Amino acid sequence: MELGDSLFDFKLKATDGKYYDKYTFADRYALVLIVTCNHCPYARAYWNRLKKLFQKFEEDNLAILAINPNDETQYPDDSFERMKVLKKQLQLPFPYLRDETQEIAKKLGATRTPEAFVFNSKRQLVYKGAIDDNWEHENMVTRVYLEDAIEYTLDGMEPDFTDIPPIGCSVKWKK
């Protein structure tokens, strides 16, 4: 996807057994899709930061959907059953969806886990890429790209930085 593109239709099953689509949170001013997974050390490093972001902005009308597209044949830790365990362990406050066919990740143009995609109230892409500038040490982060993009979007403005290359593991595409 390119910046300004409208979010396409999708329907994915989450670890809570429900299905989510682009209309589930239609009343929210911003929707963040995070392409992520269970096994990648980069993705694991960001789970608590994503929880904090959600808690910070939930009352401001933010919705987050985490999406795991990885091939579970190559990476059994990324299976739907393991996703359910992780969701419970981490007490994730937002849905964790399985992209079994990898169609959603491909349409987004995702390349890494984790990778963020921020959509405004009209569901146009306004930011894609990195969450911040230091995956290893949260206390040493100097640039909070995703947080800034969320704040701008919730305020009805365009983010200053719109396309920051993500750092993480490659998406594990099916062979």
Q: What is the pLDDT of residues 125-146, one digit of tens each?
A: 999 999 999 999 999 999 999 9
Domains, the chain, with CATH or none: 11-15+38-170 (3.40.30.10)
In the chain, the amino acid numbered 132 is D
- Tokens of residue 55, six digits: 């808690």
pTM for the model stands at 0.97
Distance CA 145, CA 162 (A): 9
What pLDDT score was predicted for residue 174? 96
Q: What is the pLDDT of residues 32-71, one digit of tens each?
A: 999 999 999 999 999 999 999 999 999 999 999 999 999 9
Residue 77 binned pLDDT confidence (cut-offs 50, 70, 90):
very high
Strand 62-68 and strand 96-98: the pairing is: parallel
Taking residues 10-30, what's their average pLDDT?
97
Structural contact between residues 40 and 115, judged by C-beta atoms closer than 8 angstroms: no
* Percentage of the chain modeled with pLDDT above 90: 98
